[in-house]
Structure 1
Amino acid sequence: MKNIFLTRLAAAALLVSLASSCDKLLDVKPQASLPAETALTTKQGVEAALIGAYDAVQSGNYWGLRYILFADMGADNVRWTGTLPSFQQINQNNITADNVELSSMWSSIYSGINRANYVIEAAGALSDPSYTPATAIAQARALRAFHYMNLLGFWGGTPEGYNKPGGVGVPLRLTPTKDISDAQIAPIPRSTEQQIIQVINDDFDYAIANLPTAYTSANNQNRGRITKNAAIALKARFALRNGDYPTVISLTAPLRDASGNLPLSANYVDLWALKNQQESIWELQYDATDANSIAFYWYPTANGGRNEVDPATGLPAAHETGDKRLPVNVNSSPAGTTQKFSRVTGDDNVILVRNGETILNRAEALARVGGVANLTEAVKLLNLIRVRAGLAAYVLTPTATDLTGQTGLVAAILKERRVELAHEGHRWFDLRRTGTVLSTLTGVTQPFRVLWPIPQREVLNSSGTITQNTGY
């Protein structure tokens, strides 16, 4: 009887907290609370839990600040200028297992996984003829895949990259933790990277098969939900990270228009000066009431911020002369900021997936596979990005050591990624997947530091069930 009570109490508490805090991401207005006996057993309850599952993504310990920031700050796009020692460790790639930022981010991601698991289980068990659960399950499975992909990004794989022999994974939870009994919260060992990869791909496949291409609602109330195209683009990102280039090519082919292009905003800056532009595929929704802290960490104290980070000293030089992206990525007024996050009140949206990235993903995959047709299309796609930035078109240039120009083209695409996607949470993972962390970042001299340490409390509290990454 005790466990039944705890289960109901936990479910009710979860649903109340989710429903009351999740307006940040979606414009849906859920019920403030539901009785314990109906929580997650009605379509209204499942929908409220689904919105709560989305809400987990926009936490300040996740994509509302830390995940997107650390992916550039641990690399060479952002530098630490503030007072937080935990940030300093990440910027200097000298992270200890007791770093509070890692613990907070790890916990937030697993909270998101648990919320997604709740929806998957509850929607599948719902017996309501007026409700079709597949769409809710598809959204939750896409979110779960996204979470596990992000966990592998920092904590999985090998020092040489991702999807390599011997790659390590993370603990894999596919059912919800419903109460506080020992059986529910008992630690589980880490799965292998390959096991996590399989789950991620299976979840994305289900999502792609069952998600709509768009959601219809009055006043854009469903803006912020993940769509079929977003799931496709995310799976393509994951495939690129794993070196599965043919899959990237096949996945992104249907996303092109009749001209073989993907829609881009006419002006690069408009993606952030405005909101929800055509190029954006999946975008977190924020306002001044339900805000994030990204610009606050970027901006000087004189402008209402805390001046914790600014663009790395090498980032301006990574831009070519005349690049229209430079003043966006490295803002001069106020100095040391970025126009991608300029609202200190916290109402900048966060773009999780956009066509600019997908274009470069496809271009790189085509270039790496090679062949005349693939190289030709890769150059065309690369130049969509370059021309918008006000730069000269790239010309494929064969040499005596690069007979087709393939090697030079891949290098040009990787160079373009750094500036096109600056401050958007990609740089660290690009360096990791290409095996260039040590050759690019002078501060990383020990290969084991390419993988972050599992939070110390997770290892200690599990009595060794969860093993630490080598070297920590």
Structure 2
Amino acid sequence: MVHIRSFGRRLLPAALALTVGFGISSCEKILDVEPQASLDSAAGLKTPADVQAALRGSYDAIQSANYYGLRYQLFADLAADNARHTGTFPSFAEIANGGILPANVELTNMWNIIYVGINRVNYVIQQADLITDPSFDKNGTIGEARALRAFHYMNLLAYWGGKPEGYGFSDGLGVPLRLTPTTSITGEEIKPKARASEAEVVDAIRADLDFAIANLPVARSTKAYIGKATALALRARLELRLRNYTAASNFASELNTALTGGVRLEGDYGAIFSQKNSSEALWEIPFDAVDPNQLAFFWFPAGAGGRNEVDPATTLGAAHEAGDLRRNVNVVTASTATSIYPTGTTRKYFRISASDDNVVLARGGEVILTWAEAVAQQGHLDSAAVLVNRVRTRAGLAPYAFEAPAPGTDGTVRPHVIVAKTNDAVVAAILKERRVELANEGFRWFDLRRTGLVMATLPAITQDFRILWPIPQREIQNSLELVKQNPGY
């Protein structure tokens, strides 16, 4: 079991974030770096073991309840049409109703923890570069840290960057870009930074992921850590969001070639979540009794030990075709509920007693649908159908077809679902598959954003400026307004 221990909490606003300390707790040695608001650069990381322990500890930010321990992926479904707010938090209600204010505490905390994660890996990168031990895998270590940094910046852009029309436009808005660590509360490094453009942030993300792809092994000894396969999956995800479809399909194809046996799908969709570290998972963040998360607690009803802050949306259940095996995983109804899976929850997060559901951050189902959409957008519709039908077959559904198959020798026609052989029709079918395949995993809002479908899909969003979330007000104030607010707020 791998779990990562946090040694403290940050004291300063996030874009000026000072790392609070690193640590890893597992069967291996724990390196304790003194808890503090900033890292003592004089102490440094002296050995390869120090750097490796700090790198392992840098994953801790992702486990935060303000990141993938709850909020980041939950809000991508709550802001869209996959989840509904059933609880009492006004800050959650703002997100569900499309009326987010700059002072929303959820956004502030989420923004903050992402910059904490960035500062931690910046420190690892800086310190790793100073190690002279010839046995130290410097490039591999730096590559892993840079992939983590790319992941964080991708996630910042996903909510706060781009334009209302989507991502990847020449005048898209970015976020403050920090590529060196803040290790002191004095000097130039502590000064606020203005927002970079979206293009500048994307350039940094690509450079980081490309370095990781060039220097990491395809797979790691544990799915908790990023390897080349995950970096390729993230690169494909990035290019799809940016509407660079040739690049997206190329990276998905490269990943398929790199993996022995190609990109895998677990035979049973539910097993991706009922068991940990399934064969489909490329990157999976572990949680346990030492490092729990709040996912099941926020989904479960009070009578089952939760707070019932969210439920699956009615429209999510309706989005599944008859016979779709994913429906009972994504939406637990009164007719499918058990003592383990109560009504109004999802079977993806169900370990309420220990709060130790793992969170899958990259997996085969997403990669295949990314690949399918990217080739469809290039007009390769037959190839797209082959790919998306892998996912549909696993879900127990008839494959998509552009015309009725020829009857078999017994005169019967095998089951099929007709889709018009046009780019628009095939892409729409793939987006429908993404909605149900990736439900409650943190993709829906970003899919609506990148395809320009937010306002057409969500009646609550009546002003397009709300498609970009507001930069946290505290961040703007603490930067003395050097960090500019998104238009409209």
- The normalised TM-score by structure 1 is 0.90
Q: How does 1:254-403 map to 2 (within 5 A)?
A: 254-256=254-256, 262-332=263-333, 333=337, 334-344=342-352, 345-370=354-379, 374-396=380-402
Q: Distance in 1 between matches of 2:355 and 2:453?
A: 34
Give CA-to-partner distance per residue, 1:35-70, whole Å, 9 cap, x none: 976541221221121012111111111111110100
Is the Cα contact below 8 Å between 1:248 and 1:362 reproduced in 2?
Answer: yes
Is the Cα contact below 8 Å between 2:296 and 2:349 reproduced in 1?
Answer: yes
Q: Distance in 2 between matches of 1:18 and 1:223?
A: 20
Q: Which amino acid aligns with 2:347?
A: Q
Q: Percent identity?
A: 51
1:18 match: secondary structure: coil
Per the TM alignment, residue 254 of structure 1 is displaced from its structure 2 partner at its CA by 2.7
Per the TM alignment, residue 463 of structure 1 is displaced from its structure 2 partner at its CA by 1.4
Residue aligning to 1:5: none
Is the Cα contact below 8 Å between 1:276 and 1:283 reproduced in 2?
Answer: yes
- Is the counterpart of residue 50 in structure 1 residue 55 in structure 2? yes
Give CA-to-partner distance per residue, 1:174-231, whole Å, 9 cap, x none: 0000011153321110000000010000100000000111234xxxxx4411010000
Give CA-to-partner distance per residue, 1:289-334, whole Å, 9 cap, x none: 2211111000011111111001012111100001100010001321
Q: Distance in 1 between matches of 2:436 and 2:20?
A: 42
Q: Distance in 2 between matches of 1:154 and 1:421?
A: 18
- The normalised TM-score by structure 2 is 0.87
Cα 1:34–1:90 shift into 2, 3 Å:
closer
- Is the counterpart of residue 417 in structure 1 residue 418 in structure 2? no
Cα 1:326–1:397 shift into 2, 3 Å:
same
Is the Cα contact below 8 Å between 1:397 and 1:408 reproduced in 2?
Answer: no
Per the TM alignment, residue 341 of structure 1 is displaced from its structure 2 partner at its CA by 0.2
Q: Distance in 2 between matches of 1:382 and 1:463?
A: 49
Residue aligning to 2:454: 437
Per the TM alignment, residue 396 of structure 1 is displaced from its structure 2 partner at its CA by 2.2
1:67 match: secondary structure: helix
- Is the counterpart of residue 185 in structure 1 residue 202 in structure 2? no
Q: How does 1:134-149 map to 2 (within 5 A)?
A: 134-149=139-154
Equivalent pairs counted in the alignment come to 445
Cα 1:259–1:385 shift into 2, 3 Å:
farther
* Structure 2 unaligned residues grouped into runs of 5+: 1-11, 13-17, 405-418
CA RMSD of aligned residues (A): 2.1
Residue aligning to 2:488: 471
Residue aligning to 1:165: 170
Q: Distance in 2 between matches of 1:287 and 1:368?
A: 41
Q: Distance in 1 between matches of 2:456 and 2:351?
A: 35
Per the TM alignment, residue 29 of structure 1 is displaced from its structure 2 partner at its CA by 4.3
Is the Cα contact below 8 Å between 1:189 and 1:467 reproduced in 2?
Answer: yes
Is the Cα contact below 8 Å between 2:220 and 2:226 reproduced in 1?
Answer: no
Cα 1:33–1:171 shift into 2, 3 Å:
closer
Is the Cα contact below 8 Å between 1:15 and 1:39 reproduced in 2?
Answer: no
Is the Cα contact below 8 Å between 1:106 and 1:455 reproduced in 2?
Answer: yes
Cα 1:88–1:403 shift into 2, 3 Å:
closer
Residue aligning to 2:67: 62
Aligned to 2:135, which of 106, 111, 130?
130
Residue aligning to 2:76: 71
Q: Which amino acid aligns with 1:310?
A: D
* Structure 1 unaligned residues grouped into runs of 5+: 1-9, 217-221
Is the Cα contact below 8 Å between 1:96 and 1:453 reproduced in 2?
Answer: yes
- Is the counterpart of residue 18 in structure 1 residue 19 in structure 2? no
Q: Distance in 2 between matches of 1:225 and 1:27?
A: 16
Q: How does 1:205-284 map to 2 (within 5 A)?
A: 205-216=210-221, 222-256=222-256, 262-284=263-285
Give CA-to-partner distance per residue, 1:13-51, whole Å, 9 cap, x none: x998421xx44xx76542345797654122122112101
Is the Cα contact below 8 Å between 1:262 and 1:359 reproduced in 2?
Answer: yes
